[in-house]
Amino acid sequence: MLLQFFKMNGAGNDFILVDNRDLSLTKELDTDTIAALCDRHRGIGADGLLAVEPAQKGADFRFRYYNADGGEAEMCGNGARCFGRFTAHLGEIVLKKVTFETIAGTLAAEMISDDVRIAMSEPKDLKLNSDAKVPGLDATLHFVNTGVPHVVTFLASPEALDEFDVFNHGSAIRHHKAFAPAGTNANFAAVLAPDHISIRTYERGVEDETLACGTGMVASALVHHLLTGAPSPIKVDVEGGDTLEIGFEKSGDQGFKNVTLTGPADFVFEGEIDI
């Protein structure tokens, strides 16, 4: 069977996108097949796969996201921007705005010149100053769910972030008993200016550092605001070299609403692969 696919990237976080609006691919896209497609040596190569399905609750589309290990995840911020741009081009007229259902809630994507702005779901389960400790890491862990679970920790300087062992410390946090059984993504951040931070992210499901993580950017920006009072919007530099923007409004002491993620979502290539 030949599978038609598109390859996109959002700030270096790369994805395979497939059109499954007729649900003909549902049985074909099992865990092993998705993992094989995302394999960078024997497949297409990607941090995850996005499938477009028909909406069930009144939105334009349904968003299905699978990590590179083939497991389905609730949401992906960079993936959502790519999904928004991809679905905006599916009809005869390019749409300026699309809505789609995710496990984390219904989201909206707005095309803004070369960028895509995602209206994110409201963050939940915020916990500053977690008691969790990681051997060899002298830093405070903060937790927030921005569609998927994220730990955020701030390092002393950008130079410390550049030299940081993201893989080993990220893996330790991802599998820490404090965040079991679901596990968590791990973000390591440094302050560049009051309204500007830099982050590196270890992603659950990819099980490695990625060049960018949209929900991780949001989590890091919101924690930065709570720790320092930095105003919206907050700029976030990612390992892929892009700078994205996180907008938000406060709701109570530690709540947020109208959270947005704005950044690039680019088509790379399209093709067919035998599955």
Catalytic residue list: 76, 213
Please give the Cα distance from 133 to 260 (Å, whole number): 31
- The candidate with the shortest Cα–Cα distance to 129, out of 160, 145, 153, 149, is 153
The 10 Å Cβ neighbour count of residue 257 is 12
Cα-based torsion angle of the residue sequence 68, 127, 252, 235 in order, rounded to the nearest 10 degrees: -50
CA gyration radius, the chain = 18
Give dist(CA 171, CA 137) in Å, integer: 12
Report the SS3 class of residue 255: strand
Residue whose tokens read 């995602």: 118
The DSSP annotation for 17-39 comes to EEE-TT-TTTTT--HHHHHHHH-
Displacement of CA 197 from its chain's centroid (Å): 17
**DSSP 3-state assignment of 241?**
coil
Placement of tokens 């390019």 in the chain? 94
